[in-house]
């Protein structure tokens, strides 16, 4: 029996994924493992947690009630049968990895029957950061899944994962929400004012989790401004200054923060590309507060150059996924950024100097 239009409280959007999961639950056709993919803050962990609630809800329906003891324990990450496993910081404090001992610890628990729920559920987030040993160890569980165990992995995309992992999971690729949906959610559930809701919906690119973070943590908007100012300043700098910046970025930022900056820059260049390509009216850009700067860059660099930078940044992100040397990867990227002549030379610009 297909299930459509199921509403899971606690999840906004992603209706097709909810339909699929609720249908599997209702018809007793659960997969042993699911893989939720999509960019950061799109709602993967939220959906995984609500799925765990639906699997174990005391009300026993295909939708979680959110108010029974089980739903509440899961909401607070305190249910004995539901584990949330995240990558941990390495001893250097620079990279986050999901380690083999975390997988082994989980496997010992999964071998036991559920303690008080119907299913043991393990949610493993950012699985692209699993070590090869951890991924291989998990394969064993995926090949011989214990009874009444559901695994949910999340990752940015399937490409950095072992094909043997991906093929043993049912994949659900979450997509950004329509901007109006993010906007109305911010107004209705997070009490943003209309101006904020509209701007943050655009800046988030349809990622509700990101919009909420930008709304509730004002430092993030400051940091975003600094990072876009730094990108703008870099275009006027020579190679030596760019390399110094790559070195500083490597020294001062953790791996996930470097990724965040690159994602932000990629979005800005995509806006430049779109603006250069758009013939009539204004292009549907993400960084709406930077419209004038983006238009100037579109006129200066054109669509081809902007597209080349987007591809370079995406390649850098792929390199980082494969644990390439961060500084080298960033230096290669620095060389691929166009120059805004005249280059200001060895002077270290204010925007680069103040970036944290």
- For Zn ion, give the closer residue by CB, 69 or 251: 69
Of 283, 289, 256, 255, the closest CA to residue 270 belongs to 283
- For Zn ion, give the closer residue by CB, 65 or 139: 65
Burial class from Cβ neighbours inside 10 Å (0-12, 13-18, 19+) for residue 82 reads buried
- For Zn ion, give the closer residue by CB, 59 or 111: 59
* Residue 50 beta carbon to Zn ion: minimum distance, rounded to whole angstroms: 10
* Residue 75 beta carbon to Zn ion: minimum distance, rounded to whole angstroms: 10
Q: How far is Cα 62 from Cα 22, in angstroms, rounded to an integer?
A: 5
3-state SS, 204-260, equals: HCCCHHHHHHHHHCHHHHHHHHHHHHHHHHHCCCCHHHHHHHHHHHHHHCCHHHHHH
* Residue 26 beta carbon to Zn ion: minimum distance, rounded to whole angstroms: 15
DSSP conformation letters of 280-302: SS----S-GGGHHHHHHHHHHHH
| CA dist list (Å): 229 to 77, 291, 354 | 38, 14, 10
- For Zn ion, give the closer residue by CB, 118 or 340: 118
* Residue 49 beta carbon to Zn ion: minimum distance, rounded to whole angstroms: 12
Within 8 A by CB and 6+ apart from 290, the residues are: 228, 268, 271
Within 8 A by CB and 6+ apart from 311, the residues are: none
* Residue 59 beta carbon to Zn ion: minimum distance, rounded to whole angstroms: 5
- For Zn ion, give the closer residue by CB, 123 or 158: 123
Q: How far is Cα 271 from Cα 291, in angstroms, rounded to an integer?
A: 9
* Residue 60 beta carbon to Zn ion: minimum distance, rounded to whole angstroms: 9
- For Zn ion, give the closer residue by CB, 70 or 312: 70
* Residue 203 beta carbon to Zn ion: minimum distance, rounded to whole angstroms: 34
Task: Indicate if the alpha-carbon torsion angle 305, 330, 261, 317 is positive or negative.
Answer: positive
Task: Indicate if the alpha-carbon torsion angle 221, 259, 52, 16 is positive or negative.
Answer: positive
Instruction: List the structure tokens of 280.
Output: 């009539």
- For Zn ion, give the closer residue by CB, 79 or 207: 79
Sites of contact with Zn ion (CB under 5 A): 57, 59, 64-65, 68, 71
């Amino acid at each position: 029996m297909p299930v459509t239009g199921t509403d899971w409280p606690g999840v906004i959007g992603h209706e097709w994924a909810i339909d699929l999961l609720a249908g599997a639950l209702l018809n007793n056709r659960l997969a042993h493992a699911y893989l939720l993919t999509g960019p950061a803050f799109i709602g993967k962990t939220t959906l995984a947690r609500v799925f765990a609630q639906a699997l174990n809800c005391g009300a026993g329906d295909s939708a979680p009630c959110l108010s029974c003891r089980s739903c509440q324990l899961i909401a607070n990450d305190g249910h004995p049968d539901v584990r949330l496993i995240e990558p941990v910081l390495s001893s250097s404090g620079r990279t986050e990895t999901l380690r083999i001992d975390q997988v082994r610890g989980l496997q010992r628990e999964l071998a036991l029957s559920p303690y008080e729920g119907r299913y043991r559920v393990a949610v493993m987030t950012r699985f692209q950061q699993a070590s090869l040993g951890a991924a291989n160890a998990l394969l064993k569980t995926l090949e011989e899944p214990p009874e009444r165990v559901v695994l949910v992995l999340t990752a940015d995309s399937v490409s950095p994962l072992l094909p043997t992992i991906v093929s043993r999971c049912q994949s659900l690729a979450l997509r950004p929400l329509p901007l109006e949906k993010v906007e109305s959610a911010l107004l209705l559930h997070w009490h943003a004012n209309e101006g904020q809701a509209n701007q943050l919906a655009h800046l988030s690119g349809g990622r509700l989790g990101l919009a909420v973070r930008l709304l509730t943590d004002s430092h993030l908007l400051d940091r975003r401004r600094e990072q876009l100012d730094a990108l703008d300043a870099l275009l006027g700098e020579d190679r030596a200054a760019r390399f110094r910046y790559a070195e500083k970025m490597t020294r001062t930022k953790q791996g996930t923060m470097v990724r965040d900056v690159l994602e932000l820059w990629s979005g800005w260049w995509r806006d430049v590309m779109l603006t250069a390509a758009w013939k009539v009216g204004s292009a549907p850009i993400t960084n709406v507060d930077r419209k004038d700067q983006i238009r100037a860059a579109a006129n200066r660099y054109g669509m081809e150059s902007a597209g080349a930078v987007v591809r370079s940044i995406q390649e850098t992100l792929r390199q980082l996924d494969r644990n390439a040397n961060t500084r080298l990867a960033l230096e290669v990227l620095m060389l691929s950024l166009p120059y805004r002549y005249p280059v200001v030379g060895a002077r270290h610009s204010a925007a680069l100097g103040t970036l944290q």
